[in-house]
Amino acid sequence: MRLEKCWFCSSTIYPGHGIQFVRNDAKIFRFCRSKCHKNFKMKRNPRKVKWTKAYRRLHGKDMTQDATFEFERKRNRPERYDRNLTENTLKAIKTIDKVRFRREETHHKNRMKGKVAKERKEARKELDQQIHMLVAPGAMVKDTFAAKVTVKVQHESTDENRMEE
């Protein structure tokens, strides 16, 4: 029994799920569910469909090259059974998984590195530029002017105020 990968979305296909399609040139396409199958029949390219692993890898959203991927490779030469080796392999699978997961996390973090700063900058800019939705520019200017002008001659300030209104 083998766990296969879906041709479209690259998720694992467990036994009892999905459909396999064999083309006339004997190439086998396996699909994990009818969603992938229908997308395939519509001749959609998985590299252009956002939610697939192919797209994510191509566009750098997910980790592409890593040493942990080298461990999992389909080997065609059968090895003679060795209990110790099997034990070690089973333990190794678990640690490799952990390592891979950690590395994926760091990859994601690196991808999102500048996001917070960028967001804050944008928020600040929006606040500066769109403040007129909350407070009319006249009112704001009036405050500033009022603060400054009150020191000067009284009647001049009142004239200015009237003009602004």
Partner 1 sequence: MRKVKFTQTNFHEKLSTIIEEFPRLDDIHPFYGDLLHVLYNKDHYKLALGQINTARNLISKIAKDYVKLLKYGDSLYRCKALKVAALGRMCTVTKRIGPSLAYLDQIRQHMARLPSIDPNTRTILICGYPNVGKSSFINKITRADVDVQPYAFTTKSLFVGHTDYKYLRYQVIDTPGILDRPFEDRNIIEMCSITALAHLRAAVLFFLDISGSCGYTIAQQSALFHSIKSLFMNKPLIIVCNKTDLQSLEGISEDDKNLVEEMKSEAMKTLIGQGGEPREGAEVLLTMSTLTEQGVIAVKNAACERLLDQRVEIKMKSKKINDCLNRFHVAVPKPRDQKERPPCIPQAVLEAKAKEAEKEKKRLEKDIEEENGGAGVYSASLKKHYLLAHDEWKEDNMPEILDGHNVYDFVDPDILQRLEELEKEEGLLQDQEDDEVEMDVEDLTPQQQKELAEIRKKKSLLIREHRIKKSTAESRPIVPRKFDKDKRFTSERMGRQLSSLGLDPSKAIERVRSKSRGRKRDRSTDHDMDVDNDGSNKKMRARSLSRSRSRPPTNELVPGEGFKDSAQKIKAFKLGKKSVQKRNKDAKKGVDDDHDLRRGWPVMTEVWMNVGGIKKIRVYDFESYFLFGRFHVCFILVSCYTFLNLWIFSDNYEMIFGFISQSSGVLSFSCLLFFLVKFELHKYESHFKLQARLQPNMKWALQNRRKT
- List interacting residues with partner 1 (CB under 8 A): 1-3, 12, 67-68, 71-75, 79-83, 85-86, 88-90, 92-97, 99, 102-103, 106, 113, 116-117, 120-121, 123-124, 126-127, 130-131, 133-136, 138-140, 165
Nearer Cβ to partner 1 (22/131): 131
Distance of CA 108 to the CA centre of its chain: 8
Alpha carbons 25 and 20: distance in angstroms, whole number: 14
12 vs 45, beta carbon nearer partner 1: 12
Specify the residue, 28 or 93, whose C-beta has the smaller distance to partner 1. Answer: 93
Which region, left, alpha or beta, applies to residue 145 given φ > 0 means left and ψ of -120 to 50 means alpha? alpha
Q: How far is the CB of 100 from partner 1 (least distance, A)?
A: 10
Nearest approach, Cβ of residue 53 and partner 1 (Å): 14
* CB neighbour class for 37 (10 Å; exposed up to 12, middle 13-18, buried from 19): buried
- Residue closer to partner 1 (CB basis): 126 or 156: 126
* Helix-then-strand count for the chain, H and E: 7, 4
Longest dimension (CA), the chain: 103
